[in-house]
Chain A
Amino acid sequence: MTEFSLLSPIQGQKGVQGIIVANSEGIPIKSTLDNSSTVQYAGLIHQLVMKARSTIRDIDPQNDLTFMRVRSKKNEIMIAPDKDFFLIVIQNPSD
Chain B
Amino acid sequence: MAPKRQNSPSRKASVKGKGKVKKNQPPSPKEKPDHPDDIYPIVLTTATQELFECCIDEDVTDQSPYKLLKKDDIIQDIKTRAAVSDFHPVKQFVLDYPEDEILLVFDVDFTYGQSFYLVLTPEAKARIYNVLQPPQPEIIEVLEDDVSKTPEPKPWISLGSELEVDQESVKETREKLCYKFYLKRRPGLPVCFSDRNSTEAECRSVECPSYQDSRFSIKRMQRDCGMQAVPRLQSSTTQTQRAFQRNIFTQYEPRELSKKEKERILSSENLRKFLNSVTPRVLHALQQTHIMNVFTDDFKALGIGAEASDRLVMVSEGLKLQWTFTDEKRAMGNKISSVSWHPTIHGLIAVAFIKKQEEQLDKSTAYINSPAFIVFYGFPDQSNPRLLLECPDDIFAFEFCPSNPNVIVGGCRNGKVVLWDISFHAPHLQGTQPNSKKGSDSDSDTDTFDFDKKENKTPVMRYCAVSSIESSHKSPVTDVQWLPKTFEVTRTGVPVQNNSNISVQVVTCSPDCTVMFWDLRVPKLQNQFLADRKQDVDQKTMMTPYSIPKTFKHLDRTWKPLFRVSLPKSDTSGEYAPLKFSLEHYTCNSNTGRNTDNENDVAEVLPEYSQLRIPSAKTLRTLDDVNTKFYIGTEEGEIVYTDWKLEEDEFERKFSAKPLLCFRTHAWFVNTMQRSPFFKDILLTTGGWNFAIWKEGVMGGPIFVGPSSEQEYSAACWSLSRPAVFFIGRNDGSIEVWNLLLNTSESTHFHEHIASTRITCIKPCIASSKQHYLAVADNLGMLRVFSVPKTLRSPVKNEDLNMQIFFDREHDRLKDYLEWEEQWAKQRKEAGESKKQVEPDKPVTFQVDSEEADLKEYSDYLKLEESILE
Contact = CB atoms under 8 A, between A and B. Distances in A.
A69 B282 CA distance: 10
A10 B265 contact: no
A9 B283 contact: yes
Contacts of A62: none
B267 A25 contact: no
Interface stretch (B116-124, B269-277, B497-505, B554-562): B269-277
B272 A6 contact: yes
Contact of A71 (B271, B277, B287, B295): B295
Given A39-B256, A84-B274, A76 B289 contact: yes
B868 interface: no
B281 A67 contact: yes
Interface string B272-297: 10111111011101110111110110
Contacts of A9: 279, 283
A53 interface: no
A91 B256 CA distance: 25
B255 interface: yes
A3 B287 CA distance: 21
Contacts of B293: 93-95
Contact of B278 (A29, A39, A87, A91): A87
Looking at B265, B283, B291, which has the most chain A CB atoms within 10 Å of its CB?
B265
Nearest to A16: B286
- Classify chain A's interface size: 35 or more
Nearest to A80: B278
B698 interface: no
Given A29-B266, A80-B278, A69 B285 contact: yes
Contacts of B256: 27-28, 39
B290 A21 contact: no
B262 interface: yes
Given A13-B290, A43-B254, A80-B281, A23 B275 contact: no
- Classify chain B's interface size: 20 to 34
Nearest to A36: B254
Looking at A6, A25, A43, which has the most chain B CB atoms within 10 Å of its CB?
A6
Interface in A17-65: 21, 23, 25, 27-30, 39, 43
B286 A91 contact: yes
B257 interface: yes
A80 B285 CA distance: 11
A73 B262 CA distance: 33
A95 B290 CA distance: 9
Nearest to B277: A82
B286 A27 contact: no
Given A2-B272, A84-B270, A89 B282 contact: yes
Contact of B281 (A7, A25, A39, A66): A66
A74 interface: no
Contact of A6 (B254, B255, B265, B275): B275
Contacts of B282: 10, 78, 80, 87, 89
Given A13-B286, A39-B254, A78-B286, A30 B279 contact: no
Contact of B265 (A23, A43, A76, A95): A23
Contact of B271 (A3, A69, A95): A3
B691 to A, nearest CB: 46
A19 B286 CA distance: 12
B281 A82 contact: no
Contacts of A66: 281
Contacts of A43: 254
A21 B276 CA distance: 13
A25 B272 contact: no
Contacts of A7: 275
Interface residues of chain A: helix, strand, loop or mixed (majority): mixed
Contact of A13 (B262, B278, B287, B292): B287
Contact of B275 (A3, A13, A16, A27): A3
A10 B281 CA distance: 10
A13 B283 contact: yes
A54 to B, nearest CB: 20
A38 B289 CA distance: 23
Nearest to B287: A13
Contact of B289 (A2, A67, A93): A93
A29 B594 CA distance: 63
Nearest to A69: B285
Contacts of B262: 29-30
A82 B278 contact: yes
B296 A95 contact: yes
B286 A10 contact: yes
A81 B283 CA distance: 15
Contacts of B270: 84-85
A1 B290 contact: no
Contacts of A3: 266, 271-272, 275
A21 B271 contact: yes
Contacts of A28: 256
Given A69-B285, A80-B282, A6 B276 contact: yes
Contacts of B255: 25, 27
Interface string B293-305: 1011000000000
A78 B783 CA distance: 59
B274 A67 contact: no
A39 B252 CA distance: 13
A76 B289 CA distance: 8
A94 B266 contact: no
Nearest to B257: A27
B283 A94 contact: no
Contacts of B289: 15, 76, 91, 93-94
A94 B287 CA distance: 10
A61 to B, nearest CB: 22
Nearest to A71: B295
Interface string B557-569: 0000000000000
Nearest to B284: A67
A95 B295 CA distance: 11
A82 B286 contact: no
B267 A2 contact: yes
A40 to B, nearest CB: 8
B283 A10 contact: yes
Interface of B: 254-257, 262, 265-267, 270-272, 274-279, 281-283, 285-287, 289-293, 295-296
Interface of A: 1-3, 6-7, 9-10, 13-16, 21, 23, 25, 27-30, 39, 43, 66-67, 69, 71, 76, 78, 80, 82, 84-85, 87, 89, 91, 93-95
Top 6 closest A-B pairs, CB basis? A80-B278, A6-B275, A39-B254, A13-B286, A82-B274, A85-B274
Given A21-B275, A82-B274, A85-B271, 11 more contacts: A13-B283, A13-B287, A15-B290, A23-B257, A29-B266, A29-B271, A39-B254, A80-B281, A85-B270, A89-B282, A89-B286
18 contacts: A3-B271, A3-B275, A13-B283, A14-B290, A28-B256, A29-B257, A29-B262, A78-B285, A78-B286, A80-B281, A87-B274, A87-B275, A89-B282, A91-B290, A93-B289, A93-B293, A93-B295, A94-B293
